[in-house]
Chains A and B, each alone.
Chain A
């Protein structure tokens, strides 16, 4: 397989996905990367070197979030792509789909507020030794919007121990001074976890929306570094 010089992103689209154009805009217009939409009924995608599973409400999320999307033909391709080391990022609903597909450990519960939450949240970058957050300083406090009904991450004790031992926890909710506690935890997520990766560190799921904060006019451009990190780690 030969690639053009620029990295090429495939952005998955399920019925009900609604952040695909936001991701497209950032990758193409802000980062100058190449990207294309990939319809969920496709089972093979040529030439791409990263997959983005954007946010939204796939199939309306009337069952559990992401529970239906995992049966789409494209998901077996995602599995194959990831097993060969390809970069996969799942944002919000994308994260939920990756959990349902067991590409990442744990599960998502409803927010403990029992309400949809849309607001900026402070986050601590707890790991930078991965292709998604390598552009941040370790421990850096950043701001990104969260927008979800089900972002209350849960994993059992053994699982928690394991992801911590393997440094798979990448983002944690905190306040502006970096304090991680109940008051800076917007949804009840275990240990304030906002984003994790797999053991091989090529699959990343996060609840915050980095694509929504890549331009100053939107209030923050802290999210850009995630996509830049991906671009830098592809080349």
Chain B
């Protein structure tokens, strides 16, 4: 490896790679003369990110013909849209089938390009190749628009709504780091949209309070109606009942949007469950059910002088349902909340008041969907493993006894100590967590070498990390359900892949600011020095090395999935979704 430094280069900056090259100064002036930008005070914006600069660099103007799909349900997106001209139509329910909206897997290397890695890979580590720079420069350009066929039939069979010029949409996915919740298509020819990447939207909201409150309001309204439509027990309600539930439901948010810092402080102070904010407490009267929408919460129960973790609840899980149903069925023998629900991270919840559940929801339900009564005494007292009640009830009705017991016992198969370990370290956030069975791992480092071979000779993870018993969680990007690393990125270099949602870094737009590496609660992002083809470290004009963020990309462009997992000779390493415990329980007992 050469140690000679190459000639100085300009350090990458935020807008070296604007969202689009096609937006002109005239376009910017035109935008500034129309709502909502005309009402924004330019003085509120800092000199480093003026309003014209944000519009010039973080937006682009897109044109669509009638029927062309603008966003697809299920895709990950990091931008919002403002309709400049024309109208758009949002498909509410039922959702369009994937084939109709042209969902397809991301392009992987062809077989010849895979083989060409034998001689084509650079000899030096982290070589910043020119072809890579140009390949990644515009991550969304060249996208082919898909036209939805037979629109009249779709309008006939699917409930839709119209969005008019001047309205924003797409802000839920852009702001919550979640998939798009609906498919939206252009409703007129020459529909013109302003697409704002989320870094720009964040700046606009930060420096213009009016836009912030407007986006917050529509975000809450749309998110609430979308989320409530997913709650299983609403399926049994008539329209009037659904309207009552919707009117009474509260939308609450706990924790800091950027919870990484809080977690690090808590961990440094030897944090325990007792120090986490509480949503609802064991022993209190159950005055509503809490439905998790995003983020996670810890379910605990008093044990001796502390709190024992029984489970963690992610999106779609419900708390307080069993108690309210019990009290409705046995008003003379009421029970309080059996567990405490604590905030871990940034948590969105929906709260439906107990009175609405008792008056509207429970009377509408068939008997077999009601949960079992809570036993306050004996061996079966207050089962702590609160699964989605409807999932359990439906399992009870349909599945074989073996399947039922297997599903219900995932938590017990994992064990409370391992659960405590996963929760204390916030590993539940990972959708592709690298877990290693140290009883089988021979420390051969084949996984590390395979990763290096497929990633510029530099492994994207450390085969080391917190260990519980024989299970190690290695320092590899977990592709979190809530990727806080994305929060501070000024250029959008770290983003979700639109198809499967892997968190990936675009090296062309990464400016090496270290925001993502500092934000990652798990230390899974590393800053690496860039080199030229001869191995010389690239030096910026300030005489410091040019660095870029690197991390596991789950071998998104390779055949067969993650090379680390495929390279393990002993079946010791696996990439596991820890959002729920089912996959982990199955792997532990493989």
Q: Do A and B come from one complex?
A: no
